[in-house]
């Protein structure tokens, strides 16, 4: 009979995919996102890493401030580096930071939320206080201080963003755990003789996971924006090009005054596109996976 159960799960998955495909915005999101991931993965084929180095002009014969018509698809910057190559390699940093920082935030947030919500008592009180504390402190000042203390490197940027963006997740997961804990089927499991670990593993976590996944896709764009902001403030990794650092470079080199739109517009648009598509995917996933929404569909007649 368990094979039957697996067949049912596969069918549920297929149903989920079918439901996702009905969401047009979600489809657009996933297509755009796929393109960016493809670009990031095949960066070495699409662009030359050599072109990213800030070297003197005599080693290379690219003109400075070249417009798209003059050189390459997107022209060059104030140091004669082609914008296209920066943009392609920048996607790696943005996606990497976004995903890695989200992973940290989600893990911390889920653990804090589940532990607090499920066990309650003083642990919950302490964790709730900590969560509130992190929520109340404005993100940027805290991130700036942390980044300054830890020093500018890609790893530290990920860490800084990760440990500042978990509280929202923690609160969401905690409230979900609290409602699940009160469900009658949890009481039934307890009446069957179940331990806390069983209830956590069999009932609470499976019900929370869809929410975690949907929430993760919604945290990625926040992380990407944070990276952009930190890099724009000059707190990014100086050895790596990211969309945020491109914006910062163009701004400080006076690209706005020179109307060198080909330098600052592409990274800006890319940030918007990635952030938007993650949000669209997250919302579509929420609709498919959120147990509250699903329960309503299942029970309603």
Return residues touching another protein (CB under 8 A): 1-2, 4-5, 7-8, 183-185, 187-195, 198, 202-203, 206-207, 291, 294-295, 298-301
Which C-beta is closer to another protein: that of 210 or that of 266? Answer: 210
Nearer to another protein, 64 or 294 (CB): 294
Kindly state the smallest distance separating residue 248's Cβ from another protein, in Å. Answer: 47
Residue 199 C-beta: closest distance to another protein, Å: 10
Closer to another protein by CB, 58 or 297: give it.
297
Token pair 């005054």 is found at 257
Q: What six digits make up the tokens of 126?
A: 């302490």
Q: Cβ contacts of residue 103 below 8 Å, gap of 6+?
A: 162, 216
Q: Kindly tell me which of 234 and 291 has the beta carbon lying closer to another protein.
A: 291
Nearer to another protein, 18 or 148 (CB): 18
Q: How far is the CB of 191 from another protein (least distance, A)?
A: 4
Query: What are the φ/ψ torsions at residue 235 (nearest 5 degrees)?
Result: -105, 10
Please state the closest distance from residue 72 (CB atom) to another protein, in A: 52
Shortest Å distance, C-beta 294 to another protein: 8
Nearer to another protein, 2 or 239 (CB): 2
Q: Of 22 and 188, which has the nearer Cβ to another protein?
A: 188
**Shortest Å, Cβ 112 to another protein:** 24
Q: Closest distance between another protein and the C-beta of residue 4, in Å?
A: 4
Distance CA 82, CA 256 (A): 17
């Amino acid at each position: 009979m368990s094979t039957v159960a697996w067949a049912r799960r596969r069918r549920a998955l297929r149903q989920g995919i079918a439901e996702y495909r009905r969401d047009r915005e979600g489809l657009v999101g996933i297509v755009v996102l796929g393109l960016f991931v493809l670009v990031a993965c095949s960066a070495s084929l699409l662009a030359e890493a050599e072109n990213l180095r800030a070297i003197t002009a005599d080693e290379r014969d690219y003109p400075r401030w070249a417009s798209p018509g003059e050189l390459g698809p997107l022209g060059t910057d104030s140091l004669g580096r082609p914008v296209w190559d920066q943009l392609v390699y920048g996607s790696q940093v943005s996606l990497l930071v976004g995903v890695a920082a989200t992973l940290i935030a989600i893990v911390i947030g889920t653990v804090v939320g589940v532990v607090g919500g499920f066990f309650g008592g003083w642990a919950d009180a302490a964790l709730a206080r900590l969560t509130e504390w992190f929520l109340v402190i404005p993100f940027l000042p805290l991130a700036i201080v942390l980044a300054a203390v830890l020093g500018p490197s890609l790893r530290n940027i990920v860490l800084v963003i990760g440990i500042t963006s978990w509280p929202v997740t923690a609160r969401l997961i905690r409230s979900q755990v609290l409602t699940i804990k009160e469900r009658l089927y949890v009481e039934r499991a307890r009446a069957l003789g179940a331990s806390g670990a069983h209830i956590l593993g069999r009932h609470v976590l499976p019900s929370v996971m869809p929410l975690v996944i949907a929430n993760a896709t919604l945290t990625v764009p926040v992380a990407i924006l944070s990276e952009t902001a930190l890099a724009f403030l000059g707190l990014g990794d100086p050895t790596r090009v990211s969309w945020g650092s491109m914006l910062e470079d163009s701004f400080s080199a006076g690209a706005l005054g020179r109307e060198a739109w080909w330098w600052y517009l592409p990274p800006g648009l890319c940030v918007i596109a990635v952030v938007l598509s993650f949000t669209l995917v997250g919302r579509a996933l929420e609709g498919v996976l959120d147990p509250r929404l699903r329960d309503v569909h299942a029970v309603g007649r």
